[in-house]
Amino acid sequence: MSNRPIAVVTGGAGFIGSHMVDLLLEKGFSVRVIDNLTGGRESNLAHLKDNPDLTLDTRDIRVLEPDDSLVADAENVYHFAGIGDIVPSIEQPTEYMSANVMGTVCVLECARHAGVRKFVYAASSSCYGLADVPTTEDHPIGPEYPYALSKNLGEQAVFHWHQVYGLPVNSVRIFNAYGPRVRTTGVYGAVFGVFLKQKLAGEPFTVVGDGTQRRDFIFVTDVANAFYLAGQTELSGEIYNVGAGNPQPVNRLVELLGGETVFLPKRPGEPDCTWADIEKIKSQLGWSQSVSFEDGVAQMVEHIEDWRDAPLWNPDSIKQATAVWFQHLQK
C-alpha cells in the first residue's frame, strides 16, 4: 500500500487530463483516473502502464454514487471529464448538459462525501463569449453555444457546492490549450489537429476568415501546472484564467508550420481575439508560462506522426461539418 497522497483525475486519459496525470506522478502522488474513453485514449497513458501508482477506471462519471471508493481518501480531485466541441453541442444539447453539468454534480458529491482537501474544475474561456480583451475573471458571462453554456453551468455547480457545503474548490478557465495528445479523431475542431494533418498530406491550411484573428494559445504542460497550483494553494473559492496572455494570429501559426493557405468564411459566435488577463494566477499562485508559442509549435511538429490517422479536412468537408453552426448561430 503506497503512502503517497492520492489524487483523482477525471478525464485522465484525455488531452489535458493525461498531462495532469504525468505531473501528479512526478510530484509524488498516487493517481486514480476515471475516463470512459469516449474522448480519452488509453494510448495517452500507455507510457505509464507499469506504474504501480496509477489506476484507470473506465466507468462514466455519471454512474458514480456519493460514497464511491474512487474518491475515498483522496486529497485532490481534478475534474477534466466532459465532452467538448461546438458543433456536436448544437446537435446534442441534452447530452452536453448531462455529461458536463450532471456529470460534474456526481463528482462533486463524491468529493464532498470523501472530504477532499481541494476540488479543481476545468472550466472553459468560451463562457465569456464575444468578450472584451484582455479578459479578466470578473468579465460578464455570455456563452454563445451549448458547449460553453454546459461548462459554465458545471462551474456554477462547483461554486454552489463551495457555498452550501463548504467544499474547498477552485476553477481554472482554460483558453486555447494545445500540445501533444490533443485529440486527432472525430469532429471538426481545434485548429492544430486540422493543420497538422493538412501539413502531413501536403494540402493547404484551411484558414477561417483572413487569419488575422488571434488566439491565446497555451501549451498543455503549462495548463497542467496551473491546475496543480490551484489544487495546492490554501486559497479556495477562486476562479483563474490560464492562457499565455499573448494572443497569436492564426497566420503566425501558418507561418511557423509553413505551407499554402486557403481561406474560409468567418463563423458566427467566434471572437476575433481570445486574450486571457493572467495577472491573478501569476500573483496569487505564482504561475508563469514556461513554453513559448514557437517552442510549443516545434514540439507539435516533432509529434506530427500522431496525426497520421486523423481526418483530413478540406473546404467542402468543413462547410458540411459546420453547416449547423451557421444555421443556428447566424444572427
Determine how β-strand 261-264 pairs with β-strand 30-34.
unpaired
What string of H, E and C letters represents the secondary structure of 99-130?
HHHHHHHHHHHHHHHHCCCEEEEEEEHHHHCC
Determine how β-strand 261-264 pairs with β-strand 217-219.
unpaired
Helices first, then strands: H and E counts in the chain:
12, 13
Whether residue 240 contacts residue 281, with contact meaning beta carbons closer than 8 Å, is answered with: yes
The three cell numbers locating residue 124: 472553459
Tell me, yes or no, if 96 is annotated catalytic.
no
Q: Which of 121, 128, 145, 147 is catalytic?
A: 147
Beta-carbon count within 10 A of 93 CB: 15
The three cell numbers locating residue 208: 477561417
Catalytic residue list: 147
